A and B are shown apart, each in its own frame.
Chain A
Amino acid sequence: MSSGVLTKRQQNRLDKGVSGTSKWTLVKRYWVLYVMLILPMAYFVIFRYLPMEYLAMAFKENNIIKPLWEVPWVGLKNFERAFGDRDFWNALRNTFMLNILDIGFGFPAPIILAIILNELVFKRFKRVTQTIAYMPHFLSWVIIYGLAMRLFAPTDGLVNILMNRAGYESISFFDKPNNWVATYVFLGIWQSVGWNTIIYLAAITNINPELYEAAAVDGAGRLRRIWHITLPGIKPTIVVLLILTMGGLIGGGFERPWVLRNPMVYDVATVLPVYVYTKGLLNYQFSLTTAVGMFQSVVGLFFVLGANFFARKVGERGLW
């Protein structure tokens, strides 16, 4: 219903209700919703905000035994130690590289798959395909690594055995840095692409079907409809997800690089989460670990803010 059909008085009442000159009235009206909000809010306060007190460890001596306030301050010493370590910069470079490749190849993949699935005419085939595509999401990286080794190992891997029998040389999927990076990105896409289509498929279903019907009447082909209706229809979703993804540009998960790496590719496979674990936690350098983690969070926040700012600049709604 457009506001054009409302009287001025009706519009004023609506605006008043939405803008909330009487917020207390709204609270009284929707108190059940506010009560339901207590639990998730408590979760965030207890598990997300209160632990932030321990960010102070980044500026303190390495000691997890004394109460935090009794541990002496050391200023930026832990940051200096991290920034003075070339392994840190190597890990930072690798994190950037792998995450940018993940975004470059992995971000569009679920969008493309969602559009393809949406275009499938046979619904049962679509559902089966979706289910199969979701499955890898539920596999741990240890299992995926095991499967990948069985398939791609140089001498015992099925793919290389078949290639050898066909007269081709084996491919070093895991033991040459460049090949390892490609395998890493490929496995990441394979594992997540199906699951990540869900949100895009949901966004596509929100597009008014009448738009497709009108376009078809006007003679638009399938690709035209995708380009002019589907993609613009899910663009806000794409932008929001892209902004959120940017926040993890120097973060990312630990399990995947940890499991997939091997001694021959450490120079490209050691990312910041792995650095934090090996350099920090395994050596009991908890303050160093906190400093690096804090650095990741702050830089990630700047990426999110920057991406949001850019999105709003080009006319998108952004996160807020």
Chain B
Amino acid sequence: MLRGLWSAATGMAAQQLTIDVISNNLANVNTVGFKKSRSDFQDLMYQTLSQAGSVTAAGGEIPSGIHIGMGTMPVGVQKMFMQGDFKETKNELDLSIEGKGFFKVLSGEEELYTRSGNFKLDSEGNICTPNGDKLQPEMTIPSNTISITIDKTGTVTAFDPEGTGASLGVVELYTFSNPSGLFSLGRNLYRPADASGEAVSGTPGSDGVGTIAQGFIEMSNVDVVEEMVSMIMAQRAYEINSKAIQTADSMLQMANNIKR
């Protein structure tokens, strides 16, 4: 049967994947610390029907042969760790990272990483994510604290009613050699993988690690206009591949009708 029928089918499947990725990006357009994804494609193998350089029956040389491609395939859906916009909340436990780096949290027994800095306090005064995963290194805010300040370099100071400040420690940030290689778990959490490399701890503001801004949250880095344009492109590409399938169908029908 026509190879083109299957090539067009891979084209439709690829555009479907693009729509899946775009839909997820758009669904998370207001998710704190969300990073958008992008799908990348490559062409599939080529079948050589005649080899370049071989000699024809007439004695001439075939200049470039016939290579027929088999369609396209998805090769990666990659997170794009570009900076999201900042939104001022004035909430003293809303932290955002300006630049590179991730917060480390303890989810059950496992150390995971996140960029969403909308932290809360649990009943024991520990700083934790909205899911209750404790920020690492752990910090307990004394019960008589009336305000907390966290400076650019991550130093946490708690003030008691008399106005005396006590330093509680430093919020460390962690960087990866290839953040795109991190495994996305959902719930804004990432797990290190072979492709991402090991987490390297750093003090905010030094060694290329970003700084912390208190009272701000990092919004999603999804750009709605860009996603809409991608969606148009994916939809039209889907449509044109379906036309190729219709054409293949008509051609096969004609072939069937040669014999009446």
Query: Is this pair of chains taken from one and the same complex?
Result: no
